[in-house]
């Protein structure tokens, strides 16, 4: 007889699904029971939410059965507390689930604001409805000029060319990806104006660089700042200042060896994690690595440190156009880039690949590696 080992994966995004699939499909350990806990009715393709906000797509949901290994038990619920001592999680309906091991993968969102946003499916749908109801000639203000802001602005400009689009950020599109001249040209073509200033997160008023305040008009979409759920902090687990769960280079929580973490909700300590950015591109290899670390511990071997390198960063610039920036393993840009239709085509293939990787890992466990050697992160 062998003892059952119960692993709970909290959060069913890119990181959590990859981790759950890799564990469920592993033949290295007998008696592994994997439970994925997530409040969503379906898996959310979060990297396409700007398309929902623009009314280009009605849904970005994928059936759990399509992306999860058939031996993963899926529980549709929100976790409100992790009781480390009792090794249980508490769900919103106060039910409890026991775990032997836990992978924390609750992802991220934008800073809380009453303004419109695209941070999750519900928010993106509300934004989509608000945009659809705007009379022709109305103003849409996008707070932030990072990748999400640019993707939202381009998608809305394509679907509603009759609206007046403005992006507001303290120093315009200063982000290395969105600041490229090819991106600026595309936005100019779509008549998206970029203003230096800030947006008040409570009222949507725009304070321009000279200090003048313009009250909110039309619709304001907030795309700034990363926040994470407070679950780790609420549960007394070690967190960084911004609430991300602290993990070491093997993705284990120091002092809590049965808890590991992956994706946007964790801060990896040490040099191996220094270059990681919150992204789907990082979440998938981190999820795979967290599962690998857990399996190594179960096998009584030392888990390896992460070794994740990037390949490219991409932007969807609307109507099949895109911008793809080749980067070094440490995410610093190379000279090579693609834009226009070839950039858009490549970006679309990357988006498709993310779900395809999860689905393939569900059917052929261990299949997710990119090229050979350590995982390389796309998008």
Interface contacts to ligand FAD, rule CB under 6 A: 10-16, 37-40, 44, 46-47, 49-50, 78-79, 105-108, 118-119, 148, 151, 229, 231, 263-265, 278-281, 283, 314, 379
Measured from the CB atom, the residue of 67 and 163 that comes closer to ligand FAD is: 67
Q: How far is the CB of 297 from ligand FAD (least distance, A)?
A: 21
Which residue, judged by CB position, is nearest to ligand FAD in the bound state? 13
Q: Are strands 88-91 and 79-83 parallel, antiparallel or unpaired?
A: antiparallel
Task: Please enumerate in sequence order all residues whose Cβ is within 8 A of that of 23, keeping only pairs 6 or more positions apart, or say none.
Answer: 7, 9, 32, 34, 291, 294, 295
The least CB distance from residue 311 to ligand FAD, in Å, is 11
CB of 46 to ligand FAD, least distance (A): 4
* Closer of 26 and 223 to ligand FAD (Cβ): 223
> Residue holding tokens 């990787």?
357
Residue the block writes with tokens 């909290």: 10
- Check: CB of residue 183 under 8 Å from CB of residue 177: yes
> Of 208 and 349, which has the nearer Cβ to ligand FAD?
349
Q: In the bound complex, what is the minimum distance in angstroms from residue 300's beta carbon to ligand FAD?
A: 28
Residue 196 β-bridge partners: 169
Write down the least CB distance from residue 29 to ligand FAD, Å.
23
Nearer to ligand FAD (CB atom), residue 194 or residue 311: 311
Name the one residue in this structure whose structure tokens are 């991220």. 108
Instruction: Provide the minimum distance between the beta carbon of 345 and ligand FAD in the complex, in angstroms, as a whole number.
Output: 15
Inter-residue contact 309 to 285 (CB < 8 Å): no
Number of H helices, E strands in the chain: 9, 27
* First CA to last CA distance, the chain: 45
Residue among 205 and 233 whose Cβ is closer to ligand FAD? 233
Cβ proximity to ligand FAD: between 105 and 165 the closer is 105
Nearer to ligand FAD, 150 or 190 (CB): 150
Please name the residue that has the structure tokens 């071997």.
301
Buried b (16+ CB within 10 A) or exposed e, 306-334: bebbbbbbbbbbbbebbbbbebeeebeee
What does the DSSP assignment read for 219-244?
A: EEEE---EE--SHHHHTT--B-TTSP
Least distance to ligand FAD, CB of residue 326, Å: 15
């Amino acid at each position: 007889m062998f003892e059952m080992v119960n692993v709970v994966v909290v959060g069913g995004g890119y990181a959590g699904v990859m981790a759950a699939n890799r564990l469920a499909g592993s033949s290295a350990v007998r008696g592994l029971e994997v439970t994925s806990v997530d409040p969503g009715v379906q898996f959310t393709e979060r990297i396409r939410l700007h398309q929902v906000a623009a009314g280009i797509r009605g849904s970005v949901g994928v059936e759990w059965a399509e992306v999860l290994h058939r031996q993963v038990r899926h529980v549709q619920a929100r976790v409100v507390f992790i009781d480390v001592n009792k090794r249980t999680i508490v769900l919103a309906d106060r039910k409890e689930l026991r775990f032997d091991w836990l992978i924390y993968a609750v992802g991220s969102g934008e800073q809380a604001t009453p303004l419109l946003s695209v941070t999750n499916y519900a928010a993106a749908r509300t934004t989509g409805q608000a945009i659809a109801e705007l009379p022709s000639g109305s103003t849409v203000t996008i707070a932030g000029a990072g990748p999400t802001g640019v993707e939202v602005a381009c998608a809305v400009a394509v679907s509603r060319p009759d609206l007046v689009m403005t992006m507001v950020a303290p120093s315009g599109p200063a982000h290395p990806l969105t600041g490229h001249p090819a991106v600026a040209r595309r936005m100019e073509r779509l008549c998206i104006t970029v203003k230096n200033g800030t947006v008040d997160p409570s009222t949507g008023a725009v304070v321009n660089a000279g200090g003048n305040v313009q009250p909110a008009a039309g619709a304001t979409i907030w795309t700034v700042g990363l926040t994470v759920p407070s679950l780790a902090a609420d549960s007394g687990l070690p967190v960084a200042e911004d609430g991300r769960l602290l993990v070491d280079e093997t993705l284990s929580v120091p002092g809590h060896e049965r808890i590991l973490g992956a994706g946007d909700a964790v801060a990896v300590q040490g040099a191996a994690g220094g270059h990681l950015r919150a992204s789907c591109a990082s979440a998938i290899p981190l999820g795979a690595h967290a599962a690998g670390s857990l399996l190594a511990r179960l096998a009584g071997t030392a888990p390896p440190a992460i070794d994740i390198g990037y390949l490219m960063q991409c932007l969807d610039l609307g109507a099949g156009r895109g911008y793809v920036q080749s980067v070094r393993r440490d995410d610093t840009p190379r000279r090579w880039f693609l834009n226009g239709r070839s950039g858009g085509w490549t970006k679309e293939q990357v988006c498709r690949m993310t779900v395809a990787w999860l689905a393939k890992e569900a059917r052929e466990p261990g299949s997710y590696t990119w090229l050979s050697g350590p995982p390389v992160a796309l998008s």
